[in-house]
């Protein structure tokens, strides 16, 4: 049975009970130790040749299903909220999904941890739209993030972005071509067996909202 919903502080402690599942960047709390983080990750990364990363992996519903369908690929989730990280880890444990890894770090710093041309695919699912213009720098398809994605994505690797927000969709169509070539778009993504849904996508589809998708390659 999965543990009851925890407070932020208790979740922060609980996730450390899974040292093979979670790597934490404590630079926001203590000091910058990303070089050490990179060193500690190396033995795990050496076991795989293919890598996916989900930026903002939430409670891990998408990440764990992605890993289940791709057992030879290491699927890495980037998430800041400890409660969500704990949910993702516990689901992976319960379902015996071995090829997932959670990292508590801001996406902007991923190229300080992973080598150039490392990831095969980057997934960005239902990012916060940050609608106020003064908050544009926080949007995951904003220019500073695109520089990081470009550094860590393999040649011909893909970014797959999904959103229910038409403004975020339009914004992404404008920014992604700064670094990537858009190869496919959808303003009402079909829901078939190949489509892996997050908890938000399930909710939005139930509400009758269209799902927008952009696929771009390096």
Residues with active-site annotation: 128
Is the CB of residue 3 less than 8 Å from the CB of residue 88? no
HEC profile for 72-136?
Answer: CEEEEEECCCHHHHHHHHHHHHHCCCCCEEEEECCHHHHHHCCCCCCEEEEEEECCCCCCCHHHH
3-class secondary-structure state, position 53: strand
- Using CA atoms, how far apart are residues 180 and 146, in angstroms rounded to an integer? 9
């Amino acid at each position: 049975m999965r543990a009851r919903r925890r407070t932020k502080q208790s979740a922060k402690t609980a996730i450390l009970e899974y040292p093979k599942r979670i790597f934490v960047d404590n630079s926001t709390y203590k000091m910058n130790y990303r070089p050490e983080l990179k060193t500690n990750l190396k033995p795990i990364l050496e076991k795989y040749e293919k890598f996916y990363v989900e930026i903002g992996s939430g409670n891990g519903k998408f990440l764990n299903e992605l890993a289940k369908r791709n057992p030879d690929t290491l699927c890495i989730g980037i998430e800041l909220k400890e409660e969500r990280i704990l949910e993702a880890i516990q689901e992976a444990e319960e379902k015996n999904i071995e090829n997932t890894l959670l990292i508590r770090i801001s996406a902007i710093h991923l190229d300080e941890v992973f080598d150039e041309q490392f990831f095969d695919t980057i997934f960005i699912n239902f990012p916060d739209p940050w609608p106020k213009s003064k908050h544009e720098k926080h949007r995951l398809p904003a220019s500073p993030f695109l520089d990081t994605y470009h550094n860590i994505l393999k040649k011909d690797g893909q970014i797959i972005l999904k959103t229910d927000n038409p403004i975020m969709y339009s914004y992404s169509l404008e920014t992604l071509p700064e670094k990537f070539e858009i190869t496919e778009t959808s303003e009402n993504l079909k829901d078939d067996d190949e489509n892996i849904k997050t908890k938000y996508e399930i909710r939005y589809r139930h509400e009758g909202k269209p799902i927008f998708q952009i696929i771009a390659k390096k």
